[in-house]
């Protein structure tokens, strides 16, 4: 079983500004592990984006596709909750706090 670099350590490496003295063992693992390198690359993108933000940057609304995705996921969650409740009713299971 491959033991990957702890995500918290990947964050530390991404935040380290190239300080090569930190996490030497994990850096050796990164040389041979494309999965951890991808994760580190993604974290590095987040760090660079965050560092390049200015206090004057305007907060903008997310694109419409983000709202659609959130709505879709909420509907899926609601549907699964209804489904679980429906199954429980049919099986005679009562929820805590119900009076009948
Ligand atoms: Zn790995």
Mean pLDDT by 10 residues, the chain (100 residues): 92 82 90 96 93 84 88 83 52 41
pTM above 0.85, yes or no: no
Q: Look at residue 82 in the predicted model and tell me its pLDDT.
A: 58
Distance CA 25, CA 17 (A): 17
- Give the tokens for residue 89: 């009713």
Q: How far is the CA of 31 from the centre of ligand 1 (A)?
A: 9
Domain spans of the chain? 7-53+62-90
Q: Look at residue 76 in the predicted model and tell me its pLDDT.
A: 84
Residues having C-beta closer than 5 Å to ion ligand 1: 4, 33, 35-36
Q: How far is the CA of 41 from the centre of ligand 1 (A)?
A: 13
The packing angle between helices 34-52 and 7-15, to 10°, is: 50
Q: Look at residue 100 in the predicted model and tell me its pLDDT.
A: 38
CA angle 63, 68, 70 (to 5 degrees): 100
Q: Look at residue 93 in the predicted model and tell me its pLDDT.
A: 43
Distance CA 10, CA 36 (A): 8
Q: Look at residue 5 in the predicted model and tell me its pLDDT.
A: 95
């Amino acid at each position: 079983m491959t033991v990957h670099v702890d995500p918290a350590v990947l964050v530390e490496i991404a935040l380290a500004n190239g300080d090569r003295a930190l996490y030497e063992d994990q850096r050796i693992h990164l040389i041979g592990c494309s999965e951890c390198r991808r994760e580190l690359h993604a974290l590095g993108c987040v760090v660079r984006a965050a560092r390049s933000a200015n206090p004057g940057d305007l907060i903008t609304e997310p694109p419409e596709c983000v709202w659609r995705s959130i709505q879709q996921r909420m509907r899926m969650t609601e549907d699964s909750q209804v489904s679980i409740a429906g199954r429980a009713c049919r099986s005679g299971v009562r929820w805590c706090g119900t009076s009948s």
